[in-house]
Amino acid sequence: MVDDDEPVEDVRDDELTRSGDPGWDPGTAAGADAAPEPDAVDVPALRARLAAAEQARDEALRRTDALTEALADVRSRPVETFGMRADKIVRMAQHEADQRRRAVEQEAAEVHARAHAEAARITADAVADAERIRAEARADAERAAADAAREVEQVRSMGTVARRESERVADTAASMHAHVADLRRGVREEVARLHALLGAELGRLDRPARPPGGGAHQLREPGGRPVPAELPPVTLPEQRAAGPRPSPGPAAASPASPAGPAPEPETAALRHTVRPDPARASGGPVPG
């Protein structure tokens, strides 16, 4: 910036001003103003010098403009105080914090993206494993249900067979029990009938002989052959089981004997002697 109070230098270059210059020589000036000969002037060198001078001038102008702007900037700035320095430090710290926050946010976003991708992969693997396990469990359940149904059917069929077998065994046991009861009843009846016949025959044989000419003399004569008594036919239990049981008729009764003393009562020894063995009479084991 130029001060108005300073004297301005006269830069005019003419003959009027040069005459006042103490070192001015008119002859020298006249010789300098005289145009040189055309042959003695180097035009390319002059052009080069002119281009260099113009380049130097442009560079000087640029430097001058830059210095002017820098000077204006320095003059426009206020004086830097402690508060300004502190505010500058705070702004720098805030800028650094913003940069760090942006870096941390970017890193967190990258970590979140990686975690999301990993979680998606783990979820897909878990879903695939769950589907596989569920399919295996369904197959195992169906197979177990089929096995259970087959076992239930087998147990049901075995139960049916066992029930039929038990019914058959029960029917057989009932028929055997009835048959044994029939055999026992037949043996008892046959033994009672034989006991009655033997008792009557023994009583008749043990009675005293009557005088000749009586009815007893006709049955048994001294020195003669005894007349065999007419006994009813004996039917075994096996024969009664095979055919209808004959009803006792008049032949089953003891033969009529003449009136006489009553037969002696049967003693225990006689009962033991004349009672036949049921096993021998029935031809098989004695039923209990």
Cβ-contact 241, 182 below 8 angstroms: yes
pLDDT score at 150: 92
Measured CA to CA, the distance from residue 130 to residue 122 in angstroms comes to: 12
How many Cβ atoms from other residues are within 10 Å of residue 110's Cβ? 10
Instruction: For residue 237, name the pLDDT band (cuts at 50, 70, 90).
Output: low
Model's pTM, two decimal places? 0.28
Say whether pLDDT at 177 is over 50: yes
Rounded to an integer, the average pLDDT of 61-82 is 82
Rounded to an integer, the average pLDDT of 22-30 is 49
Tokens read off for 129: 């494993």
How many Cβ atoms from other residues are within 10 Å of residue 93's Cβ? 10
Rounded to an integer, the average pLDDT of 186-196 is 93
Say whether pLDDT at 168 is over 50: yes
pLDDT score at 254: 43
pLDDT score at 24: 52
Measured CA to CA, the distance from residue 147 to residue 139 in angstroms comes to: 12
216 or 135: which carries more pLDDT confidence? 135
Any residues with CB less than 8 A from the CB of 168 and at least 6 apart, and which? none
Helix (H) or strand (E) holding 229: none
Rounded to an integer, the average pLDDT of 91-98 is 90
Cβ-contact 200, 207 below 8 angstroms: no
Tokens read off for 214: 């009586």
